[in-house]
Amino acid sequence: MTIQDYFYSLEYEDDQFPSGGNYVANYKAFKDFMDQEIHPEIKTVTSRLNDEIYLNDHSTRHVEMVILKISQILEAPDIGFNYVSGYEYFLLLSAVQIHDAGHIINGRDGHAEAGKKFLEYYNGYSISSIERKIIMRIAAAHSGKHDPIGNLENSTLLSGLKVRPRLLASLLRLGDELADESSRASSYLLDLDKIPEYSRLFHVFSRCLDTYRADSQSGTIYMLFCVNKHYATEVFKKKNKDNSYEDVYLIDEIYTRSVKAFTECLYYNRFVPEKLRFRTINVTIEFLENNGEEYLDRISYRLEEKGYPQVITEDIFALAETQLLRNGNRLTGEYIKSILSV
């Protein structure tokens, strides 16, 4: 069972939703609209952003995978699917549906924020303005490094019921990170050598990622790669966000992406209860030919927090931000002296 199945089972549980609305029926109608009208177009657009970019899968199948990954996260001991209310699932699942839809409007840059257009476009979706705002903000927080989840409310009342935007956004963001297994790669086009040069690495990465699984029982995320010799020795072309280019081996990209996964875990852990946290990434790289023959010993490593904690900067004013400002001035010893000397 997934969280979506569980949500469907709550359709007639009056205490789970604001009175007067069938939120399960509303979500099903919106999901059908997205499946039929929007998700197929996302796949079309993301394959034609420009001559260099052919993104991996962002279709209905990706949405289903995100839902599955969130479901696995919530299988933690003493937590279960009922840790999230039916109304919160309505908000979360709606956000999952639109989280990548903005690719149609803004392309890859700014796609997270553009998803709100589809809430506005679908007039048959019975939803209030404040629900629309919360869903959009949860969806938009699935990407970005400017603390998008921390900028959400920890808890708020919506239609008289308690909802937890930070928790919901955290589940979506980590679920999206985990939904990058081999099914996202365009394997057939890879075999035909039809993937643009600067997108090839991302499809090969997904194709080789056999397992990307959150084990809530142990608080560990497992990554298992199966790499054949051709991909292990190929030099890939990678375009960076600053428009620079570099040559990259797949193994080095795996190292980089596993650190990203670990960073995403640390960020996610800030906003969820103890029993839902993941503290370890276990990575295994198997070097196998297509016939299963091993041509190199496996590589295994484990990422976890160690040692004394460090902060990015020791500048208290950078850490405390506006809390140590008064009338635009930093509350330094010198400034305190100046105002006391008046």
Q: What is the pLDDT of residues 235-286, one digit of tens each?
A: 998 888 788 889 889 999 999 999 999 999 999 999 999 999 999 999 999 9
| C-alpha 216 chain-centroid distance | 17
Tens digits of residue pLDDT in 228-237? 999 999 999 8
What mean pLDDT comes out for the span 327-333? Answer: 90
pLDDT for the residue numbered 150: 96
Domains and CATH numbers, the chain: 1-179 (1.10.3210), 182-306 (no CATH), 311-342 (no CATH)
* 0.85 surpassed by pTM: yes
The residue with tokens 């105002």 is 339
- Which residues are CB-neighbours of 321 under 8 A, at least 6 positions away? none
Residue 56 pLDDT class (50, 70, 90 cuts): low
What pLDDT band is residue 114 in, cutting at 50, 70 and 90? Answer: low
**The pLDDT of residue 112:** 46
Q: What is the pLDDT of residue 46?
A: 57
Q: Report CA 158 to chain centroid distance, whole Å.
A: 24
Q: What share of the chain is helix, strand, coil (3-state, %, to 5)?
A: 50, 15, 35
Q: Which residue has the higher pLDDT, 175 or 51?
A: 175
pLDDT category at 310 given cuts 50, 70, 90 is confident
**How high is the mean pLDDT of the chain?**
86
Strands of the 209-215 sheet, one edge to the other: 209-215, 220-227, 280-288, 294-304
Q: Is 260 exposed, middle or buried (0-12, 13-18, 19+ CB in 10 A)?
A: exposed
pLDDT category of residue 103 using cuts at 50, 70 and 90: low
Helix or strand run (H / E) with residue 256: helix 250-269
User: Rounded CA gap, 97 and 63, in Å?
Assistant: 6
Residue with more model confidence, 4 or 39: 4
Euclidean distance between CA atoms 189 and 122, whole angstroms:
34
